[in-house]
Structure 1
Amino acid sequence: MSQAGGDVPAPRKILGSVEYMRICQFINGYHGLAIDCEYELRNRFFKEVEPMALTCILQSELFNRSRGQHWKNDHRGKKLLKAYEDQKELYDNDLLIQMACAEGINPIALCRTLLQEKYKLKHRSHISRMLKHPHLIEDPRLAANVQQCMISDNQEGPITDLRRRIIGEEYELKLKELAKEAGIHFYDEHDLRRMGYDKTPDIKMILPFLYKGSVINWIESKANFGDTKGHKFNIQQQLHSYCNRFGPGLIIYWFGYHEETPHLPDNNIGITVLADFPAKEDLVFMQITQGESPPAETGATKGEFKQTANPDNELTKSS
């Protein structure tokens, strides 16, 4: 993309410690709705940073903050409900939005607290149903307020959950398409589950390849920003078991990562961190020598890694 003054640099996806800290400080010092904070981050203060990276950092910071507020919110439900009942005639449908800003709570979290208190709901599933279908709320004014919160909260709620799931699936599909274009042959999650595996990466190579000298047996797609804390959590929950079962692999944080993330000692079990699909020129594929059969899914490999001669760098079999 270019303008009259020349090429416009691509938004940065790999962030240094100072810049990352500045973004986090802005988020934690912001007073108002998260959706407004996201707009300010993207359009005013950090326009040179990948927009989705900012969205993901915001999500992570607010999630960490909210974990310490659930107990407090639950125990002040009566006070919050009384404040709503006392003032509901003075506002149209934005009273809960005003209260969420004043209390420093996500609008959907405030709705959950009020619904639980007002209707004495014990199960979270009952509250979630009311949030998903506000017309089920007997109080029409409260229903209208809840609906307003639904469209004004970019951190919680069914709309936000759907958006995140769609983005995750979009980038899994992108991974598979790019892998096919590069000439990589792989099993996806559905293939691996049919084989009886429980924890599965997004794709596992039928034959491993080399990326800059490192053997790659699997690739995990994350439509997220790879900060150090989140990456360590992913290693604990997923990547460690992939390495144990399939050998070394690669994780792609499509929206970028903290500059320290690829260099964490935790990666020494065989994890490579990238912010995009690896370039074709950095891939070296295995060629099966004559008379050998492809390896089974157990991870045993035969043949040699050789830079392929064809221009598409496809996986080829020697004759």
Structure 2
Amino acid sequence: MRLSRAEYKEIVRWTEPLKPTRQCMRMLRERFPNHSQSTLLSIFSLEYQKRIKRTISRHHAPDVIESHYQRYLSKAKAHPTAPVLLDLANEVDFSPALMARIILDRFLQDLEGEMPSKTVLNNMLKEPSLIPDQTLAKNVYQCTVNDCCYGPLVDCIKHAIGQEHEVLLCDKLKEKNLSFLAVEGHIIHWIESKASFGDTHSHRTYLNEQFWSYWNRFGPGLVIYWYGFIGELDCQRDRGILLKDCFPTDIVTLGHAGQQD
């Protein structure tokens, strides 16, 4: 789906007060019924990650970590069956999954008397039943399943979606028996698959870190943002980079071009 910059900004404006919960997607779908859930989720995820990057250092300050931890302990003791860690994350406007990581890390420091290894920490976040405290295990699980932007569950979903779209792209190319093609009059030597929405920040980053390197090495190419992109970003066609939101249907292969000539 190709969005104008004005349409994109309108969606972004509505995402600003939302928390990364499953309920936020229902609100966005109700407000923007003509856009797919995948596109809305991708836009929200990108914007929420920008928000977190602006504030994450504050939540990692030692005194703030200690404050969060002591508040969790107090609330968990008073309300052992309540989702106190999820509520705390929402109260301080922080990612539930990242809050769970901070609190679990602090808990393991108390338990082991030293900083836990990343392997131990990551394994417990992926499998909360490994946490030797039933209440904390439950709270970590609640944070993980209720965060649609961060955490091991989201990482697995993103990885699977990325793989799925790469397989889809490969199948399309094999089906057409393509190794060289033209799209809308432009020669294409490479295709990059992005299972996300193409906003200004991410597209600029990809251009600098990936796309121009591909262009220098292989020549002109095509980027597919499967969940849409801001239409105004498709402005590098004359320089050799096209943007699409699906596999192109209006293609001409080298063999066909030769036959037409």
Q: Same fold (TM over 0.5)?
A: yes
Helix, strand or coil at the partner of 1:260: helix
Instruction: Determine whether 1:34 maps to 2:21.
Output: yes
Determine which of 115, 118, 126 is the counterpart of 2:107. Answer: 118
Instruction: Determine whether 1:22 maps to 2:10.
Output: yes
Call closer, same or farther: CA 1:19–1:307 in 2, change over 3 Å. farther
Amino acid of the structure 1 residue aligned with 2:107: K
**RMSD between aligned residues:** 1.9
Q: Are the aligned partners of 2:25 and 2:37 in contact in 1 as well (CA < 8 Å)?
A: no
Other-structure match for 1:140: 134
Return the structure number with greater strand share: 1
Determine which of 213, 237, 240 is the counterpart of 2:185. Answer: 213
Cα deviation, 1:177-228, whole Å, max 9, x if unaligned, reads 22222231xxxxxxxxxxxxxxxxxxxx3xx222222111111111111112
Q: CA deviation at 1:93?
A: 4.3
Other-structure match for 1:180: 174
Cα deviation, 1:104-157, whole Å, max 9, x if unaligned, reads 111111111112222223544432222012122222111111111121111111
Other-structure match for 2:112: none
Determine which of 234, 248, 254 is the counterpart of 1:278. Answer: 248
Aligned equivalents of 2:106, 2:141: Cα separation in 1: 18
- TM-score w.r.t. the length of structure 1 is 0.74
Greater relative contact order (Cα < 8 A, sep 6+): 2
Cα deviation, 1:10-36, whole Å, max 9, x if unaligned, reads xxx111222211111111123x44322
Aligned equivalents of 2:139, 2:182: Cα separation in 1: 55
Aligned equivalents of 2:166, 2:260: Cα separation in 1: 26
Other-structure match for 1:261: 233
Other-structure match for 2:98: 109
Which 4+ residue blocks in structure 1 deviate beyond 6 angstroms? none
Q: Are the aligned partners of 1:34 and 1:106 in contact in 2 as well (CA < 8 Å)?
A: no
Amino acid of the structure 1 residue aligned with 2:243: V
**Pairs within 5 Å for 1:194-213:** 205=179, 208-213=180-185
Helix, strand or coil at the partner of 1:156: coil
Determine which of 57, 61, 64 is the counterpart of 2:50. Answer: 64
Aligned equivalents of 1:283, 1:140: Cα separation in 2: 57
Aligned equivalents of 1:33, 1:240: Cα separation in 2: 33
Return the structure number with greater helix share: 2
Aligned equivalents of 2:86, 2:200: Cα separation in 1: 33
Amino acid of the structure 2 residue aligned with 1:55: L
Other-structure match for 2:125: 131
Amino acid of the structure 1 residue aligned with 2:87: Q
Cα deviation, 1:247-269, whole Å, max 9, x if unaligned, reads 11101111111111102x5x654
Other-structure match for 1:202: none
Helix, strand or coil at the partner of 2:254: strand
Call closer, same or farther: CA 1:150–1:29 in 2, change over 3 Å. closer
Other-structure match for 1:97: 86
Larger Rg: 1
Helix, strand or coil at the partner of 1:284: strand
Amino acid of the structure 1 residue aligned with 2:71: A
Q: Identity across aligned pairs (percent)? A: 30
Other-structure match for 2:257: 305
Cα deviation, 1:37-68, whole Å, max 9, x if unaligned, reads 122112x1111112211111011001111112
